[in-house]
Chain A
Amino acid sequence: MATTETMTLNMGPQHPSTHGVLRLVLELDGEVVVKVTPHIGFLHRGVEKLSEHRTYHQILPLTDRLDYLAPMSNNLGYILAVEKLMAVEVPERAETIRIIMAELTRLESHLVWIACHALDIGAMTVFIYAFRERETVMELYELVSGARMTSNFFRVGGLSQDVPDEFVKKAGDFIDSMPGYLDQYEGLLTTNPIWLKRTVGNGVISAEDAIDIGLTGPALRGSGVDWDLRRDNPYSGYEKYEFKVPTGENCDTYDRYKVRLIEMREACKIVRQGLDRLKPGPVLADCPQVCYPPKENVYNSIEGLIHHFKIASEGFAAPEGEVYHGVEAPKGELGFYIVSDGGNMPERLRIRPPSFVNLQAIEQMSVGSMIADLVAVIGTLDIVLGEIDR
């Protein structure tokens, strides 16, 4: 009588479909996945520990390097938590630019997602198209911050500088042409029989299970849970914008795909509304205890220079207490929990990364399917290892 036994297969840490250094130990029965054991931590840099030894301003560049595909969303989550702790009011122009940049970031992150997700499943054309548009977002990043990825553009109390004059036109042109590009991707995928075969019914997770395992963001909305922090607990002035929150019905990879595509269209609308309501004004709060002085003061007056030196070297002392602030990052809820003991550095900074919690669902979503479907599940979870390992 023939006997069968399972086989153990190592996938990663260097594997094209794991989107970074993720190692999965698979237990297989033929080609069917019986058990998935993720091994993470290859990119662990100890950001939370480092943050305990840096002033609040010095932590900001570290946050860029968490989810490096959506640096501005990380910046936003962090500075909103610090601003909550310090009770700083941000000028309207700064808030509007933050929302514009955060939504461009959402577009960028989702573009990388659709590119890699489609590439993993074998649709190479989409990859080339999506990276073409991503390049425009990178150029807009470079225009405002000087860097393409590690932007470090926001500041506690506002922005590091105002956006250049040509930004509004360039961003506007891009946003107006984006729906046409999205139609191109949809033309390649939405009714493509291979795409449908690979995604419909793949990685199904019910709404109840999704909440139990802690999924957030598009992964949760794909399971039909109508919840978006931008709408339900608005921050940074999102309550003034009109946008729809898409949800899925069938809880599968295809629905999560559709949810993210609609999110991209909605992000374009939010950016358009932001650009239309952009009025001249200050981009940094008038709060000298906390914020950096404007650059012209630093260059032209001794008081400004001393002020800058004090903020850059000593930072500011935060009141004793603890705050948590969660934002709707492209991948889910990104939260920063700051415990302050009254000093100029946090006693504890905890980052709640969406990818870390979302990745936990991988086993539940892929057991019983083929290895090739597991690859689609990794793509649909949209993970970034920089954020998982921190």
Chain B
Amino acid sequence: MAENNRAVLKLREKFSASVIDVVEFRGEVTVTVAKDVIIDVLSFLKQSLQYNLLTDLTAVDYLGKKEERFMMVYQLYSIPNKDRLRIKTPVTEGDCRIPTATTVWKTANWLEREVYDLFGITFDNHPDLRRILMTDDWVGHPLRKDYPLQGPDREPYKGRLS
């Protein structure tokens, strides 16, 4: 069970007040923590629990479905122990910023630029926060749920079945 996971036990011990939620689904453990400790949690996992590879970093937009609109998702992998762990942290629309993870892994550089580009979440102290996939003068953030699928000047896509 998720509660017996080595990493979850350690996180509960060290960051008990900041662990919001622990979920296990299809054998994957997801830990949601508060935003203010996210970098401490990530560096702790890297330094003490050998989660040395940041596989992926992305965001999810829960517009109208959750109180906090965005969820940052960090997929960690431990090469010595061959196991995965997912860390999530909510980001509100009003305070749409989060400290950068580039201080922990260099990988985060481009991945955070992509999240900044497509979701509009700002990363504090990021060394090179520019758009990466869209052009520099692009207006809007395409992966936000309120960004029309067919582009900013078109009617919103209603789906193929509507």
A residues in contact (CB < 8 Å) with B: 40-41, 44, 46, 48-50, 52-53, 84-85, 87, 211-214, 216, 225, 227, 232-233, 313-314, 321-324, 326, 333, 335, 337, 339, 341, 347-348, 350, 352, 356-357, 360, 389-390
Return chain B residues, CB-CB under 8 Å to A335.
55-56, 75
Which of these, B77, B111, B133, B161, contacts A44 with CB under 8 Å? B133
Closest 9 CB pairs of A and B: A214-B107, A41-B133, A352-B56, A321-B25, A348-B60, A350-B58, A44-B133, A232-B82, A213-B106
Chain B: interface residue total (CB-CB under 8 A): 40
Which of these, A44, A53, A212, A356, contacts B149 with CB under 8 Å? A53
**With A53-B149, A335-B75, A360-B110 known to touch, is A41 a contact of B135 (CB < 8 Å)?**
yes
Closest to B138 in A: A41
Return chain B residues, CB-CB under 8 Å to A53.
149, 157, 159-160
CB–CB B54/A214 < 8 A: yes
Q: Does B37 sit at the interface, judged by CB under 8 A?
A: no
CB–CB B58/A337 < 8 A: yes
Return chain A residues, CB-CB under 8 Å to B53.
211, 214, 216
For residue B39, give the distance in angstroms from its CB to the closest CB of chain A. Answer: 16
Q: Main SS of chain A's interface residues?
A: mixed
In the bound complex, CA of A265 to CA of B160 (Å):
46
CB–CB A225/B79 < 8 A: yes
For residue A160, give the distance in angstroms from its CB to the closest CB of chain B. Answer: 21
**With A49-B143, A356-B110, A357-B110 known to touch, is A324 a contact of B86 (CB < 8 Å)?**
yes
Contacts beyond the supplied A40-B133, A322-B30: 14 A-B pairs with Cβ under 8 Å: A41-B133, A41-B134, A41-B135, A44-B133, A52-B149, A53-B149, A53-B159, A211-B52, A211-B53, A227-B79, A321-B26, A347-B60, A348-B60, A390-B133
Interface residues of B in 117-162 (CB under 8 A from A): 118, 132-135, 142-143, 147, 149, 157, 159-161
CB–CB A40/B132 < 8 A: yes
Which of these, A49, A216, A341, A352, contacts B65 with CB under 8 Å? A341
Q: Does B42 sit at the interface, judged by CB under 8 A?
A: no
CB–CB B79/A214 < 8 A: no
Give the interface centre of B61, B105, B106, B135 by most chain A CB atoms within 10 Å.
B106
B residues in contact (CB < 8 Å) with A: 25-26, 28, 30, 52-56, 58, 60-62, 65, 73, 75, 77, 79, 82, 84, 86, 105-107, 109-111, 118, 132-135, 142-143, 147, 149, 157, 159-161
CB–CB B25/A213 < 8 A: no
Of the A-B pairs whose beta carbons lie under 8 Å apart in the complex, a sample of 20, sorted by A's number, is A41-B132, A49-B142, A52-B149, A53-B149, A53-B157, A53-B159, A53-B160, A85-B26, A212-B105, A213-B106, A214-B105, A214-B107, A321-B26, A322-B30, A323-B28, A326-B55, A326-B77, A352-B56, A360-B106, A389-B133
For residue B92, give the distance in angstroms from its CB to the closest CB of chain A. Answer: 18
In the bound complex, CA of A125 to CA of B112 (Å):
41
**With A41-B133, A321-B25, A389-B133 known to touch, is A352 a contact of B82 (CB < 8 Å)?**
no
Which of these, B25, B105, B118, contacts A323 with CB under 8 Å? B25
